[in-house]
Amino acid sequence: MKQLRIILADDEPITLLDIKEILTEEGFMVIGECEDGVSAVNLAKVLKPDLVILDIKMPIMNGIDAAKILSQERIAPVLLLTAYSSDEFINQAGAAGVLAYLVKPVTKNSLIAACKIALKRAEEFNVLRNENLSLQDALETRKLIERAKGILEKKYLLSEEKAFNKIRQISMEKSKSMKEVAKAIILSLS
């Protein structure tokens, strides 16, 4: 198993040290440490960690705002580690795309479990995102082929089957995808 790479952001140096110690004892690699959300986002953009652990209350940019950027830009999954357990913070964290939320003080077991859950959720979201993109591409391809078939049917008075076979034939002859052929037909004949 590859060594997990983590960035820590907390404006309390003692907490930062304690969390780093727990993580390194468990075999994780802390590749960056900082005291504010802006630095955490910048470090994550450069270092591409497997996980970012953020405190909520930090100077310059709080952990929730940093988590939102990290999640929206798909830079890294986020675990919030904080002293705040109010519903307001939990709801904000969820809306920001946080994958795990842990209330201080933490134990080694709770921290490691939360890290593993956050990473597992990130993997699952990536699989779902890729499946969604694949389905969107398939739907776009289908729409383009249908449109190209319609153009061929009208222009050359072909049946639907013959128009489809013509697109497939061109695809094989030119070593192009049917999507590319359909786009070319639409551009050149419509």
Instruction: Supply angle C-alpha 50, 55, 71, rounded to 5.
Output: 45
Count up the domains in the chain and report the number.
Answer: 2
CATH number at residue 62: 3.40.50.2300
Is the torsion defined by CA of 152, 154, 159, 161 positive or negative? positive
Is residue 17 located within the same domain as residue 93?
A: yes
Same domain, 102 and 23: yes
Per-residue pLDDT, averaged over 5-13, amounts to 94
SS (H, E, C) the chain: CCCCEEEEECCCHHHHHHHHHHHHHCCCEEEEEECCHHHHHHHHHHHCCCEEEECCCCCCCCHHHHHHHHHHCCCCCEEEEECCCCHHHHHHHHHCCCCEEEECCCCHHHHHHHHHHHHHHHHHHHHHHHHHHHHHHHHHHHHHHHHHHHHHHHHHCCCHHHHHHHHHHHHHHHCCCHHHHHHHHHHHHC
153 assigned to some structural domain: yes
Are 75 and 9 found together in one domain? yes
What is the per-residue pLDDT across 167-185, written as a single tens digit (0 to 9) for each?
999 999 999 999 999 999 9
Average pLDDT of the residues of the chain:
93
* Residue 52, strand partner residues: 7, 78
pLDDT digits (tens, 9 = 90+) for 66-108: 999 999 999 999 999 988 888 999 999 999 999 999 998 899 9
Average pLDDT over residues 17-37: 94
Checking if the pLDDT of 190 tops 90, the result is no
- Structural domain including 9 reads 5-106
